[in-house]
Chains A and B, each alone.
Chain A
Amino acid sequence: MSSNTQNSRPWIIRSLFIGMAVILIGRLLSLQVMDDKYKIMADDQAIVRKVIYPARGVILDRKGRSLLINHVTYDLAFIPNKVKELDTTLFCEVMNTTKEDIEKAFKKAIVRNGYQRQSVYESDLPQDKNARLQENLYLFPGFELIERSTRTYPLKIGAHIFGYLNEVSPRMLEKERYQSYRQGDYVGITGLENVYEEILRGQRGVHFMVRDVLNRPRDAYKNGSLDTPAIAGKSLELYLDADLQALGEKLMNGKIGSAIAIDPQTGGILAMVSGPSYDPNLLSGANFGKNFGQLSRDYTRPLFNRAIQAQYPPGSTFKPITALIALDVGVITPSFGMGCGGGYYACGRRIGCTHSGGGHAANLRVAMANSCNSYFCHLFRLTVDAKKWVGGVHEGVQRWHDYLYSFGLGHALGVDITGEYKGSIPDSSYFNRIYNRHWNSCNMVVVGMGQGEIDMTPLQLANSMCLIANRGYYYVPHFVKSIGGNANDSLLTPYLEKNEVTHIPESSFMAVIDGMEDVVTHGTGRVAQLPGVQVCGKTGTVENYAGIFGQRVKLDNHSVFVCFAPKDDPKIAIAVVVQNSGYGATWAGPIASLMMEQYLTDTIKRQPLFDRMVNSNTIKKYIKTLDSIQREKDNLRDLLRTADKRTQDSIKKVRDTMLAKQILKDYYQFK
């Protein structure tokens, strides 16, 4: 028996107890107080950040008609490294897919977004799949249903105007503008959707939820005190006239080219058609990828918005501008006339003129009505060779260029959709480069009649009509009249500014406008006559060439027509280009005229003309050949330009694919 005296063992046992308690408290301290990582891990697995997508703003036409409808759709998204022990059999059953497809989707997601970021497994889920997923989602940890609103376009018009939405790309995310976006967010890529993205998208809300171990959201985190509500996007009210746009798209069916109608008094675009067009619904929703591929491979290039991206020499439709500049420089008066015997020979070669009768260029008005080539070539030379230019023809051409620049040519006008091209207007330094400083007004004399070194987009063509219709000023063409009912939104201020471009007296304008009226009443553009409306117009037939295997081949002429009406109180200005189809009065003229009739009278009375236009196809067979040659060229150029980068990319891709395979094997036991 041990005695109670001097026994050290109770004390040893006591110290053992105290020692253990100290160790445990120390451990507790290190876990809870010294180390933050467990807090982060806890929030990471228990707190879900649910983004609430607001309804995207709608787009209305000038009469308040809705041009598109928002639908709520669901995307199934997943974060690869949060997917644990996926019940593939059940998943296949719910999603109606196969194990191979799952594996493929995983690989693709990991290669594309890495395995810690969210990727979309399937977008725009059909109703039945969505219903099944809503029920069973908790069985698939790592997967999430994302609510999103997508667009449908009941009228199937305006694809080029609205543009399309797609997932934000990694490259876009690097830009400052898209800083607040996350992988998988949808964003306007082109058109109004892109330019007014900030207006349309509204403000995303974020709800923080606590989820349980089965991945089911349970409660608001901290009673929702950190949540922000979603604010719906504002609407855009356009100048666009849905009927006119629909008509334009119908008329441009089977044609390559474009038609633009602008209200000259505001610069508001009433219709903008690029032919051939496509149904905007194709690029909204689940089949985006497939349809986009198809459209971009089509030889007629429907994705190309010719209204602002194609550039043509304006042809005879440029003659009013030539006349205006000549008048403003002071080298002619409206009564200036000259004799033309069917050609212009002053530059040592013949520039043909369709008329040879005496007096067809007796004054500006007559010359305009008859579209006398000699007259306008001469006007150009008079302008650039004017005595008042101290620097001679060099200064003359530069001044002429500056005029055109102020007319909105040679630079992007600033329309409120993406991708506008600037056209090209040569200046004296351009000719210096081409002709090694030795040149005179004869070298580029044909620009006076809109041929040669001058390129304009159809939008610029239409804008030049506005300028003439307004007798000297224009507003930058634009679509949006008001944002959420507010016409004075700061985004719209550039479009409220009047661009006064010349100090030409109205009498000079009247000479040009009278000439254009004559074009319609008894000149080349008689097809554009409308009973009871004074229509002013100008036809154009543009010679054009293609370089095929080093040879310059002449193609069918572009048919161009510009017009505005009514003469004294212009309400609409139109420019129409139909590529490789023939005379201006044959194709472009009728299309412009029918659009004008629709807008001004709200009906189409010339049914046979309408039928002929709608049912005809002017797309030439060689377009396909030209397109494939162009694509070959582009490919080759791209290949050469990006050779290095592609080598790197392919190495990266191989590495990523192997990494993804390894992860799948280790992590999910996929075989």
Chain B
Amino acid sequence: MSTIPRKSISSRLDWPIILLYLALVCIGISAVYSVEYISFHEPFFDMSKSHMKQITWLGISLFIGLIILLTDSKFFSSVAYLSYLLGIVLLLATFVLGSEVKGSHSFIKFGSFSLQPGELCKIFTALALSRFLSSTETNFNTLKDRLIAATIVLVPCLIIIKQNETGLALVYFSFFLAMYREGLPNGIIIAGFSVVSLVLGTLLIQRVPLFIIITLILALAIWLTRAQWKRQKLTLVILVVGYGLAVAFSQIVVPYVFKHVFQPYQVERIYSMLGQDVPDEYVRPGTVAKKDADYNVRQSKIAIGSGGLVGKGFMNGTQTKYSYVPEQNTDFVFCGIGEQFGFVGGAVLIVLYLSLLMRIVIIAERQRSVFSRVYAYCVASILFFHFAINLSMTMGLAPVIGITLPMLSYGGTSLLSFSIFLFILLRLDADRHMLIR
């Protein structure tokens, strides 16, 4: 322990992060407010309104953040495994105590507020992963330790898939980005990424375009690795075999199984886990296909697209104000911003997010302890995944898998969990010259 007199915690905090955080939360609250606003006659401080609930949650988040900042930085690494265990228990508890919200069993209710353990568990997993990777006994170059790290991430992920919250579960894959920073080989990242994208691609992309994409990827891979396979023919064989497996899986196995082996309800469940409608080719004759997801994206694109360069002005959005976009307070909160503030507003928001991400990477790289660095990368990865997928989803670039836009989307658990994420980061960063294990 150093005995050098330390400066106060507030002067050691990274204020850019705090300002960016507050800016994003405020944008979120005004987006929620503008969408629900009806007339000036309605009181602003009406607790039944979403924006007031969100403000309340901001208060709770800031209070918890303050507590975090006043906690010793070593506390987080020391409780990492314990909290992870608690997280797993909470996740499992939802199967017993959980109440159903929109078809998923991932919520536990406390009075009028409901808690989603899956959200909190992201923090615990991040802590546990950081603790494991920073441990002196861990050698991340060994297969055993890589498997352990993957297990830490995938256990909560699998439980959440079981809860029918596939979107949330997919978020856990972003931890591999942090692991990549810590030395996970390119090959594993590429192979893992390929398998996951192949499975998702098969479900989300139509067969013929997918075939073309896979073939193009093969061609690209052969060209990129030309130096390698000229020396070693095995690389070429691996590439071609991998290609063959991918084509067989996506073009033959899945369509056959979905059409002839699975019952229609099973197919429907697989697609609904991804928040997708069952494609026409798997719809049995005589049943009616639902087209909800399609409708969401169309309305979302209309709302954003109608914003134009500078938008329709604050509280003048027609599409979001009159509820054309489903989930416009939560997953599709970006529509309100896109419609009211146009391209300028949307681009500013994206730049704000990018600044936050870049700032976190800077913070990560200035840490003395591995624990803090890994944790910072976990935060960046999770934020990035949410930000990228959510915006792509609202603009019709990615399937609607129902994940929130951090800090902006209406919803207490989401705001609270991201606040905790950031405040722990701030606390660790305040002690960046210390060695935390």
Q: Provide the residues of chain B in CB contact with A47, threshold 8 Å.
A: 318
Interface centre among A9, A42, A45 (most CB of B within 10 A): A42
- Known contacts A38-B305, A42-B302, A46-B319: A32-B350 contact under CB 8 Å: no
- Known contacts A28-B343, A42-B319, A211-B322: A10-B181 contact under CB 8 Å: yes
Picked from A13, A24, A221, the residue with its CB within 8 Å of the CB of B395 is A24
**A197 to B392 Cα, complex, angstroms:** 56
Q: Interface SS of chain A: helix, strand, loop or mixed? A: helix
A2 at the interface (CB under 8 A from B): yes
On whether the beta carbons of B181 and A24 are closer than 8 Å, the reply is: no
A226 at the interface (CB under 8 A from B): no
A37 at the interface (CB under 8 A from B): yes
The B283-312 residues at the A interface (CB cut-off 8 A) are 288, 301-309
B354 at the interface (CB under 8 A from A): yes
- Known contacts A13-B380, A31-B304, A46-B322: A21-B351 contact under CB 8 Å: yes
- Known contacts A1-B370, A38-B301, A39-B308: A218-B322 contact under CB 8 Å: yes
Q: Provide the residues of chain A in CB contact with B322, threshold 8 Å.
A: 46, 210-213, 218
On whether the beta carbons of B288 and A669 are closer than 8 Å, the reply is: yes
**A38 to B319 Cα, complex, angstroms:** 11
Picked from B338, B357, B358, B380, the residue with its CB within 8 Å of the CB of A32 is B338
Binary interface encoding of chain A residues 3-22 relative to chain B, with 1 for a CB under 8 A from any of its CBs, else 0: 01000011001101110110
A25 at the interface (CB under 8 A from B): yes
B270 at the interface (CB under 8 A from A): no
**A14 to B354 Cα, complex, angstroms:** 10
On whether the beta carbons of B358 and A17 are closer than 8 Å, the reply is: yes
- Known contacts A212-B322, A213-B323: A32-B354 contact under CB 8 Å: no
Interface centre among B309, B319, B361, B384 (most CB of A within 10 A): B319
- Known contacts A17-B354, A33-B308, A213-B324: A9-B302 contact under CB 8 Å: no
Q: Interface SS of chain B: helix, strand, loop or mixed? A: helix
B346 at the interface (CB under 8 A from A): yes
**A42 to B387 Cα, complex, angstroms:** 25
On whether the beta carbons of A212 and B323 are closer than 8 Å, the reply is: yes
B180 at the interface (CB under 8 A from A): yes
On whether the beta carbons of B392 and A35 are closer than 8 Å, the reply is: no
A29 at the interface (CB under 8 A from B): yes
Q: Provide the residues of chain B in CB contact with A38, threshold 8 Å.
A: 301-302, 304-306
**A46 to B312 Cα, complex, angstroms:** 14
Binary interface encoding of chain A residues 497-522 relative to chain B, with 1 for a CB under 8 A from any of its CBs, else 0: 00000000000000000000000000
On whether the beta carbons of B182 and A2 are closer than 8 Å, the reply is: yes
Picked from A1, A10, A28, A45, the residue with its CB within 8 Å of the CB of B302 is A45
Count A/B pairs, Cβ under 8 Å: 117
The count of residues in chain A whose C-beta lies closer than 8 Å to any C-beta of chain B is 39
- Known contacts A4-B365, A14-B358: A31-B395 contact under CB 8 Å: yes
A27 at the interface (CB under 8 A from B): yes
A41 at the interface (CB under 8 A from B): yes
Binary interface encoding of chain B residues 322-353 relative to chain A, with 1 for a CB under 8 A from any of its CBs, else 0: 11100000000000001000110011001101
Picked from B181, B318, B358, B397, the residue with its CB within 8 Å of the CB of A27 is B397
**A21 to B350 Cα, complex, angstroms:** 6
Instruction: Return B435 CB to nearest CB of chain A, in Å.
Output: 13
B103 at the interface (CB under 8 A from A): no
On whether the beta carbons of B180 and A210 are closer than 8 Å, the reply is: no
Instruction: Return A382 CB to nearest CB of chain B, in Å.
Output: 84
B154 at the interface (CB under 8 A from A): no
The B147-184 residues at the A interface (CB cut-off 8 A) are 177, 180-183
**A352 to B350 Cα, complex, angstroms:** 107
What are 28 of the A-B contact pairs (CB < 8 Å)?
A2-B182, A10-B181, A10-B364, A16-B177, A16-B384, A17-B354, A17-B361, A20-B384, A20-B387, A21-B350, A24-B391, A25-B346, A28-B346, A31-B305, A32-B308, A32-B309, A33-B343, A38-B301, A38-B302, A42-B302, A42-B306, A42-B318, A45-B319, A211-B322, A212-B324, A213-B323, A214-B323, A669-B288
Give B contacts to A, CB under 8 Å: 140, 177, 180-183, 288, 301-309, 318-319, 321-324, 338, 342-343, 346-347, 350-351, 353-354, 357-358, 361, 364-365, 370, 377, 380, 384, 387-388, 391-392, 395, 397
Further 15 A-B residue pairs, CB within 8 A, beyond A14-B358, A39-B308, A213-B323: A2-B182, A4-B365, A13-B177, A14-B361, A17-B384, A23-B397, A24-B350, A28-B347, A38-B305, A41-B306, A42-B306, A46-B319, A46-B324, A211-B322, A212-B324
